[in-house]
Amino acid sequence: MERFEELIDRVFAMMHGELSYDPWAVRSAAEEIMQGAGRHLTDLFPQGSGGAPSEAEDAIWWDFGTFAHFAEMLEGWSRELAAQASTPARGRLPKRWEDAQMGPGMMQGGGMMRGSGSVSAAWHVAATCNACHAAFREAD
């Protein structure tokens, strides 16, 4: 998941103009996240696999359905980001991906972000990561 963080960092930097916006790079990053999300992600956490080196709290196994839903949402939003990568980045996006937060309705696939398709999708990818980390990742 550290790789996911590197990828979304780069996408956010492009959308803020810190790096030149490259639709191919955005699409490539989104596709890499998509390939590691969904079932692939949940398969990394089989029942009873807790402890080091994982940073997951035991809650991930108590509420595996919610974790699986986050993994599916990540797959869907990264697919949307890949599809929207050629759309010019317009809209409000937090400076740091870690600041994108879930809002009402997002667990059902809705959202509150306004902006172009690529900005909205990037925001939802980041918000999904953040919500999952808040629920299931050990505090630093």
User: Count of residues for the chain?
Assistant: 140
Q: Is 99 helix (H, G, I), strand (E, B) or coil?
A: helix
Residues of the chain under the 50 pLDDT cut: 104-113
pLDDT score of 31:
98
> What topology does CATH give the domain 2-136?
Four Helix Bundle (Hemerythrin (Met), subunit A) (1.20.120)
pTM of the shown model = 0.83
pLDDT score of 46:
85
108-138 pLDDT, tens per residue?
444 444 556 888 899 999 999 999 999 998 8
pLDDT score of 96:
55
**For the chain, where are the E strands, in sequence order?**
none
10 Å CB burial of residue 120 (0-12, 13-18, 19+) is buried
pLDDT score of 135:
92
Mark out the alpha helices in 37-110 (DSSP H runs). Answer: 38-42, 59-62, 64-84
pLDDT score of 40:
96
pLDDT score of 71:
97
Report the 10 Å Cβ neighbour count for 60: 22
